[in-house]
Structure 1
Amino acid sequence: MYAGFFALLLFGSFFDSPKATFAASVTFKPTTPSLGVPENIQHLWANFAPYFAAAEYPAPPPGCVINQVERHGARFPTASNGAQIQSTVQKLQAVRDFKVPRLEFLRNFTYDLGHDDLVPFGAAQSFDAGQLHFVRYSELISPNKLPFVRSTSAQRVVDSATNWTAGFSFASQNRFTPVLSVVLSESANDTLDDSSCPDAGSGDEQTNVWQAIYTAPLHAFFEQAAPGANLTDTDISNLIALCPFETVAKEKPSQFCDLFNQTTFEGFEYFEDLGKFYGNGYGQELGPVQGVGYVNELIARLTNSPVQDATQTNRTLDSSPQTFPLDRTIYADFSHDNQMISIYSAMGLFRPAQPLSTTTPDPRRTWLASKLVPFSAKLVTERLECDRKQFVRILVDDSLQPLELCGGDKNGLCELDAFVQSQGFARSNGGGLFQRCFA
């Protein structure tokens, strides 16, 4: 699992607000450093891409209230992934005679990345997200209506949450200091993690097909440049992944980035796109059902009503006003990228007309991990009140979603009741699929 998300729920009006002038006086002071890698390359790092807005945030129509979700910031590789990467590097370092000067740096290279934890760059991403969200939504905050913050229990996600609260407090000039109120254990029922479906499959079969295709030219290169290394398809993907991992960890371009061109990164991007689609998305039968519990929690917050769910929700926590209040203006939840993919799919977002091909990438596809789940990704569900009617609009990394699924208009708005009705998959507890998680 490579990442996580954050959920924010806001209730209030954006007009005639006594805090509007205070919000306008706040200066957003970004702390995330530049990485020194061209953006067109960074955006091909799929779910390892540093956060970038997929579109300019569109101001809401008059009288609006908002929900939002964001992934944790940049991190080290997971422990298992890091061990695989280190093994690949050792294969190359065992080569006696490199035939290409670009590989000579490996003579003195030491793999020294940690594992799983948030890196300082990722902490800065989360801190900046907290600042931005205060500046954007400060008119919805009061001392009695602070953001209610939850996190899944992985330390990097907890750290993302607390860095977000620190950024939010900093931007408010310490007037408002939200805290992390609930940490959901990943060993129990948890709507912020995809560990509640043990019999879910993986996307390895599909990703392996494409991996063999896109790495084929690179095998020829490494056989000539590093004779005897005998790299596998997976080894080559590991080396490509070292480019973003080292870059975000060291906050300067990794020398591994220089080993590959844009075409290679495009192939790697599609490899990760397929992994998300067939691992937790529409291509995995038990992928969307893992997002059902969170969608039902979202419906409860949008409608100010008790959670109705029989999947992975923690019924004890969700039934308590202390651990699942329904009277806040902002709710913030932090989780993982795989879980975000399951939530998108449970909601019906980004559904392609056809399953993703394992051999031929569609250059017009909207299923792009770099735009769905980059580090610090944001899924935003806004509840808006216009002319005494309740509406919903959804943004992913500030890109407004059309919401055809519930009759969305040109502003991406659909009536709240229509949105709730459109979520039949979640409201039916996944149509019986959740039981198949425990066959």
Structure 2
Amino acid sequence: MALLSLITLTYICYAYSSLSSSTVYRNSLDVDQEVPSLGVPRSVQQSWVMYSPYYPSEPYVPPPEGCSLDQVRRLQRHGARYPTSGAATRIVAAIGKLQSVESFTDPLLAFLKNYSYDLGYDDLVPYGAAQSFQAGEQAFERYAWLLSEANQPFVRASSAPRVVDSATNWTAGFAAASSHHYKPILSVILSEAGNDTLDDNMCAAAGSSDAEDNLWLSTFAPPMTARLNAGAPGANLTDTDTYNILSMCAFDTISHETRSPFCAIYEELAGPAAFSYYGDLDKYYGTGYGQPLGPVQGVGYINELIARLAGKPVQDHTQTNATLDGNPETFPLNRTLYADFSHDNQMVAIFAAMGLFKQSAPLDPTKPDPNRTWRVQKMVPFSGRMVTERLSCRGTQSVRILVNDAVMPSEFCGANADRVCTLDAFVQSQSYARNDGEGDWAKCFA
């Protein structure tokens, strides 16, 4: 397979022409600093869960004393995007119902008289391109000392255009931060029509989160729907329409980089808490712990991770592409920085297969647990990332895992107080992945 260089300068230039420097260049290492404002409070942005802009969950902490870093593997979600085509269709239908009425009796809806829906679908928005570019800059600033001209970052992406564009914006940001001393390229694109460890496309028998999502929707949405219908007599909105109207606070704001008028509806109807929990349920029962065939969709990636950490060939019989993973040009084992670009659903499957964000009890679709550890806003916001750092700690190979800069407790591999576990212990802890999902992979095709 020929190596691919697919830098998308159009996205990069558009991103920089449309964003102010105060938005693009915030210090992403300072968790106490406000996330890019977009005219919306941080608490509201974070309630958008999988549609939240990236922010660090905690300040980055260097490896503990006595440990030296020798390899890094990044797994990153694509940057902010427009709604998917299906979501866009539902959003347009809901807005159309509101705009079809003769008059509004609720001032919250008055803006709809002159509102025109102008969002695209599926692709990165300029803000999302800038997120990826900035993530590349940050990666250079943090890890460049691991590299040399002969040892540059090795980059892969799943084949969806928004993922490919995120990867190439990341490589451009990395190159720019190095004053073009380093020029990483996107080397491998994994087709989502085939074996792909960066997309959840291969488990045909996997269920969905629809039942749990709909149960929560029927719990929180009826009073909101009633309020909207009262303010727009004749609209006849459903609870699903209400959810789609709420989602426009995120999508419209991110697309136009300024507070959307839909956010007034979102906040007035007490949408943040309800919307946030909907996202938690959606991922938990979609590809997370609540989906019997969710975690198995992440085992191929974990087996690739183990191979690179241990410097040994991939051992896997699930999602991996044996041809690519068996070729040192398309799956090298001798690099010190790897970057993979993926989707939120696949990252959630990987987290669950690995043992991250484990819940003490399943999420209740009718009642949020305020103490839950499963919070999607801290897991897979737009441009969210998991970083696995391989360390040498007093002569012992070790690892630690960070998600959005927060060092994970990693109890599953016996991590110490510094949240570091030995490489051997980490590998042993991943028996579910090493055993190809312990029978679950076969169930995907039953």
User: What residue in structure 2 maps to residue 83 of structure 1?
Assistant: 89
Q: Counterpart of 2:16?
A: none
Q: Which amino acid aligns with 1:48?
A: Y
Answer whether contact 1:31 1:124 (CA < 8 A) is retained: no
Q: What is the DSSP-based 3-state SS (H/G/I as helix, E as strand, rest coil) of the residue aligned with 1:438?
A: coil
Q: CA deviation at 1:29?
A: 10
Q: 1 CA distance for matches of 2:373 and 2:46?
A: 14
CA 1:360 to 1:29, structure 2 compared with 1: closer, same or farther past 3 Å? closer
Partner of 2:397: 390
Identical amino acids, percent of aligned pairs: 54
Q: Give the alignment partner of residue 320 of structure 1, picking from 318, 321, 327.
A: 327
Q: Distance in 2 between matches of 1:388 and 1:71?
A: 33
SS of aligned partner of 1:260: helix
Residue 423, structure 1, aligned to residue 426, structure 2: no
Q: Relative contact order: is structure 1 or structure 2 higher (C-alpha 8 Å, sep ≥ 6)?
A: 1
Q: Where does residue 163 of structure 1 map in the other structure?
A: 169
Q: How does 1:163-242 map to 2 (within 5 A)?
A: 163-242=169-248
Q: Which runs of 5+ in 1 are unaligned?
A: 1-27
CA distance in 2, matches of 1:437, 1:233: 32
What is aligned with 1:298? 305
Structure 2 CA distance for partners of 1:224 and 1:30, relative to 1, 3 Å: closer
2: CA distance, partners of 1:324 / 1:265: 42
Q: Give the C-alpha shift of residue 223 in structure 1.
A: 2.3
What residue in structure 1 maps to residue 15 of structure 2? none
SS at 1:417 equivalent: helix
2:13 aligns with none
Specify the code of the residue in structure 2 equivalent to 1:314: N
Deviation digits for residues 385-419 of structure 1, max 9, x if unmatched?
Answer: 01111001001000111111011011110000000
Aligned counterparts of 2:356 and 2:274: Cα–Cα separation in 1 = 24
> What letter matches 1:420 in structure 2?
V
Q: In the alignment, which of 39, 42, 50 is matched to residue 39 of structure 1?
A: 42
Conserved? CA contact 2:133–2:171, under 8 Å: yes
1:199 is displaced (CA, Å) by 1.3
Instruction: State the match for 2:381 in structure 1.
Output: 374
Distance 1:374 1:327 in 2: 30
Other structure's SS at 2:391 match: strand
Q: Please give the alpha-carbon distance, in whole angstroms, between the structure 2 residues aligned to 1:68 and 1:332.
A: 5
Check conservation: 2:298, 2:351, Cα contact below 8 A.
yes
Q: 1:68 is paired with a residue of what secondary structure?
A: strand
Quote the Cα distance in structure 2 between the aligned partners of 1:169 and 1:176. Answer: 5
Task: Kindly provide the CA deviation profile for residues 40-60 of structure 1, in whole angstroms up to 9, marking residues without a partner as x.
Answer: 110100100000100011111
**Contact 1:214/1:264 (<8 A) preserved:** no
1:64 corresponds in structure 2 to: 69
CA positional deviation for 1:151: 0.2
Deviation at 1:31, TM superposition (A): 4.3
Which aligned pairs between 1:263-274 and structure 2 lie closer than 5 A?
A: 263-274=270-281
Cα separation, 1, equivalents of 2:343 and 2:137: 21
**Of the candidates 100, 103, 106, which is equivalent to residue 94 of structure 1?**
100
What secondary structure is seen at the aligned counterpart in 1 of 2:91? helix
SS in 2 for 1:64: strand
The equivalent residue for 1:51 is: 54
2:249–2:266 Cα contact (<8 Å) kept: no
1:127-156 CA distance string (max 9 Å, x none): 000000100001101101100000000000
CA contact (8 A) 2:79 2:131 kept: yes
Q: 2:442 aligns with which of 415, 435, 438?
A: 435
Matched position secondary structure for 2:69: coil
Q: Deviations over 1:334-387 (max 9, x none)?
A: 010000000000101111010001111011112111111000001011110011
1:154 aligns with 2:160: yes
Q: SS of the residue aligned with 1:345? A: helix
Match of 2:109 among 84, 103, 106: 103
Q: Alpha-carbon deviation of 1:422?
A: 0.1
**Paired residue total:** 412
After TM superposition, give the deviation of residue 34 of structure 1 in Å.
3.9
The C-alpha deviation readout for 1:316-336, integer Å capped at 9, x for no partner, is 000000000000011100010
Offset of residue 68 of structure 1: 2.1
Q: For residue 61 of structure 2, what is the amino acid of its counterpart? A: P
Deviations 1:288-327 (A, max 9, x none): 0000000000000000000000001000000000000000
Report the AA paired with residue 63 of structure 1: S
Deviates most, 311-320 or 357-366: 357-366
**TM-score for both structures, normalised by structure 1:** 0.92
CA RMSD of aligned residues (A): 1.3
Alignment of 1:325-340 (within 5 A): 325-340=332-347
* Contact 1:162 1:180 survives alignment (8 Å): yes
Does the 8 A contact of 1:282 with 1:288 survive in 2? yes
2:44 corresponds to which letter in structure 1?
I
Q: Is residue 256 of structure 2 the alignment partner of residue 250 of structure 1?
A: yes
Could you report, residue by residue, the CA deviation over 1:19-66 in whole angstroms, capped at 9, with x for unpaired residues? Answer: xxxxxxxxx994476411110110100100000100011111231233
Kindly provide the amino acid, as one letter, of the partner of residue 388 in structure 1.
G
Q: Is 2:295 aligned against 1:288?
A: yes
Unaligned runs of 5+ in 2: 1-21, 27-35
Answer yes or no: is the 8 Å Cα contact 2:23–2:37 preserved in 1: no
Matched-pair contact (CA < 8 Å) for 1:289–1:433:
yes
1:76 Cα deviation from its structure 2 partner: 0.4
